[in-house]
Amino acid sequence: MEAEQNYLFRHALVRDAAYELQLPRERASLHETAADVLEAVYASALQPVAHEIADHLNASGHQLERQRRFTDMAARYALDNHNHDEVVRLYRRLIEIGEPNQQIEAHQLLYGTLRAFRNDVVGAREHAFALWRLGRREGHVAAECTALNYLAGLEEPDRAKRLLRRSFRLARSSGAWMPAAIAIGNLGAIYREAGDLRRARRFIGRSIQIHRRSDHPVGEGFFLCALAGILHSEGDYEASLVAGRRGVEILEGLNARRYLATAYGHLATALDALKRFEESESVLATAEKLATDIQLHRELWKIQVHRALVALERERPEQALELWGRIRRRLTDSAQFDDLKVARSDLQKAGVRLKLLPPEAWLSE
């Protein structure tokens, strides 16, 4: 360690000055050498240092194919480890230097990261439109349909339905079955929100069939959990529990953590309907830990509200108020004031219905 410290600069300004005094060609050569050394030293475990290699190659301005390889490797490693800042940085770079197929995947993953983990609707929309344009330019129908599905998720219901129908027709006509299944499944979710349970069940059932037939188990598991929600709304609580358990089982088997938090929520709702609140609390605690671990902020507050409602059902108002304090701080800090109003209203209604807490109890932490 002492030997290594002999080669460190004592001040960042000295380091930067020494760096800038070198000729650009010399700097580029040194960056390439650093990349070569890192690749040789860590040959047996490249993924954790791939971002450093990629950064050196990018700074050198040479070896484009090698830049793409290590940028892609580093981005996938960041994605697997839920390092969302690095995911955004590296996939944005891959859009600049990558081949069209790499750019398509980068736009998809950036949309998902910005939407789910950062609640950045503006950024997500930009990547959805970029994906749509790229898909059309490259004749990549699956990418074009995926972009339409993404855009639908950012629109009001009537426009969303039009976009999803367009996506489904285009995907089906070209045999792009995965975006077709997602389009019709999301269409079912919109009908569920509108209270049209018959159409919702028909569309989501069809989505499950297409996912199953096209061997896409993540989609099958996710929409089975959505079906559980519809069956719950129809009052078929036992069937809802069966569908929810099966969906969670599939997603857990695939370690599909991005979708499990939502799936656990559907399963907990089925358990609530059967008055199995202790089991529901256990499922929701698992969901909250998962959402916290992977920084799934978009779902975390909803899970916490659900836990608070279950705590009230179990006659534990102190636990509900403790959860409310966390919910309120999170939503206030992120300026999600509309969501805060919805959360407060749901908890106030439950507190009054169960004769546990007055409405004013939720006006402060």
Domain boundary among 52, 67, 98: 98
The mean predicted confidence, pLDDT, of the chain is: 92
Cα-Cα-Cα-Cα dihedral sign, residues 183, 184, 187, 189 = negative
Q: Which of 11-25, 109-123, 274-288 has the highest mean pLDDT?
A: 274-288
Cβ partners under 8 Å of residue 201, min gap 6: 188, 227, 230, 231, 234
Whole-number Cα distances in Å, 169 to 44, 145, 211: 47, 9, 16
Q: What is the DSSP letter of 273?
A: H
- Return d(Cα 146, Cα 135) in angstroms, integer: 9
Provide the domain count of the chain: 2
The torsion defined by the Cα of 11, 12, 13 and 15, in degrees rounded to 10, comes to 100
What's the pLDDT score for residue 334? 86
Question: Does residue 123 lie in a domain region?
Answer: no
- Return d(Cα 301, Cα 168) in angstroms, integer: 32
Question: Does residue 276 lie in a domain region?
Answer: no
Mean pLDDT along residues 348-364 = 93
Cβ partners under 8 Å of residue 133, min gap 6: none
Domain boundary among 74, 98, 122: 98
pLDDT tier for residue 17 given thresholds of 50, 70 and 90: low
Q: Is the pLDDT of residue 20 over 80?
A: no
What's the pLDDT score for residue 85? 95
Q: What is the tens place of the pLDDT at every residue in 154-213? A: 999 999 999 999 999 999 999 999 999 999 999 999 999 999 999 999 999 999 999 999
Whole-number Cα distances in Å, 328 to 77, 320, 344, 360: 33, 12, 9, 14
Cα of 107 vs its chain's centroid, Å: 13
Question: Does residue 363 lie in a domain region?
Answer: yes
Find out whether 304 and 334 touch, Cβ atoms under 8 Å: no
Find out whether 153 and 115 touch, Cβ atoms under 8 Å: yes
Question: Does residue 3 lie in a domain region?
Answer: no
Question: Does residue 186 lie in a domain region?
Answer: no
- Return d(Cα 143, Cα 205) in angstroms, integer: 24
Structure pTM?
A: 0.86
Query: What is the DSSP code string of 167-198?
Result: HHHHHHHHT-HHHHHHHHHHHHHHHHHTT-HH
State the residue range of the domain holding 69: 26-98
Domain boundary among 65, 98, 131: 98
Query: Measured at the alpha carbon of residue 176, what is the angle toward residues 173 and 182, in degrees to the nearest 5?
Result: 105
- Return d(Cα 217, Cα 188) in angstroms, integer: 18
The torsion defined by the Cα of 57, 58, 62 and 67, in degrees rounded to 10, comes to 70
pLDDT tier for residue 298 given thresholds of 50, 70 and 90: confident
CA-based radius of gyration for the chain: 24
Question: Does residue 230 lie in a domain region?
Answer: no
The torsion defined by the Cα of 132, 133, 135 and 137, in degrees rounded to 10, comes to 160
Question: Does residue 196 lie in a domain region?
Answer: no
Question: Does residue 330 lie in a domain region?
Answer: yes
What's the pLDDT score for residue 122? 96
Mean pLDDT along residues 117-137 = 95
- Is 70 in a helix, a strand, or coil? helix
